[in-house]
Structure 1
Amino acid sequence: MRKKLITEVSGVVAAPVDRVWRALLDDRPRYEMKTELGEHTVAYQGGWWYRGEWAVVADPEGTRVIHRVYDVAERLSWAVTLVNKFFHGFDEQTRRSFAEGLARIGERLGCAARLT
């Protein structure tokens, strides 16, 4: 599969990896997308170009949560860049959405959560 990184964001939740992992899975999208689960990784793929990958890893402050968005278009890959230019602020929108999800996880677990 061809993957081109579009944006990446990360944050830290002050809780153990296993608790954050379970909370992340509980907070996943409610719409239908292809889902791939790994050990502390999950990927959602939908539409003709979008793939979002999430990973949780140990961090000195608890758990680091990493979110990457990839262009996985097999055909018309040149159009992804063009289309995303029309969505001015895609990086910031992704960062804001990630921050909201991180805050929900922190609230659910009763601990601090912050962007890095």
Structure 2
Amino acid sequence: MKTLAEASGVVARPAAEVFEEVRRRVTGGYPMRTEIDPDRGFLAVQGGWWYRGEYRVTADPAGTRVDHRVVNVASWGRWGVPLANRFFLGFRARTAVAFARMLEELGRPDGPEPLPARRVT
């Protein structure tokens, strides 16, 4: 497994609330395998032939720390993942921006806005 991107940050809300919201966001709407361990604050989603996104949600003095990691888990054709994804140009930056946006939404005092409905085809 090779880590392709990492991001982390702190949200000023209780860990249980943050974990549930992260779970709702990353497991809804897409056909992916999930691994959920609320006792450890761990959540992973895996889809396609290479993608695995892992989240760790832990208590922090300022609220809740959320760590995110994107991993290449391809068991075959691992060398082709960067080619298929245009060498991941800008991937780390896009991952960091999307993660920061999610943390901002999770940290709103009135809670995050509802996710938009997704069309399943």
- The two structures have a TM-score, normalised by structure 1, of 0.83
What runs of 5+ residues in structure 1 fail to find an aligned partner?
111-116
The count of aligned residue pairs is 108
Where is the strand percentage greater, Structure 1 or Structure 2?
Answer: 1
Moved more, 75-84 or 90-99: 75-84
What is the CA–CA distance in structure 1 between the aligned matches of 2:54 and 2:60, rounded to whole Å? Answer: 18
Question: What is the correspondence of 1:26-65 to structure 2 with a 5 Å cutoff?
Answer: 26-28=24-26, 29-39=28-38, 40-65=41-66
Q: Which has the higher contact order (CA 8 A, sep 6+)?
A: 1
- 1:9-45, CA deviations, whole angstroms, 9 ceiling, x for partnerless residues? 0010011211111221222242111111113111110
Match of 1:95 in 2: 96
**Same amino acid, percent of matched pairs:** 45
- The two structures have a TM-score, normalised by structure 2, of 0.80
Give the counterpart letter for 1:16 in structure 2.
P
Report the RMSD for the aligned CA atoms in angstroms.
Answer: 1.7
What is the CA–CA distance in structure 1 between the aligned matches of 2:45 and 2:22, rounded to whole Å? Answer: 13
Match of 2:117 in 1: none
- 1:65-95, CA deviations, whole angstroms, 9 ceiling, x for partnerless residues? 0100000000011112333444310001111
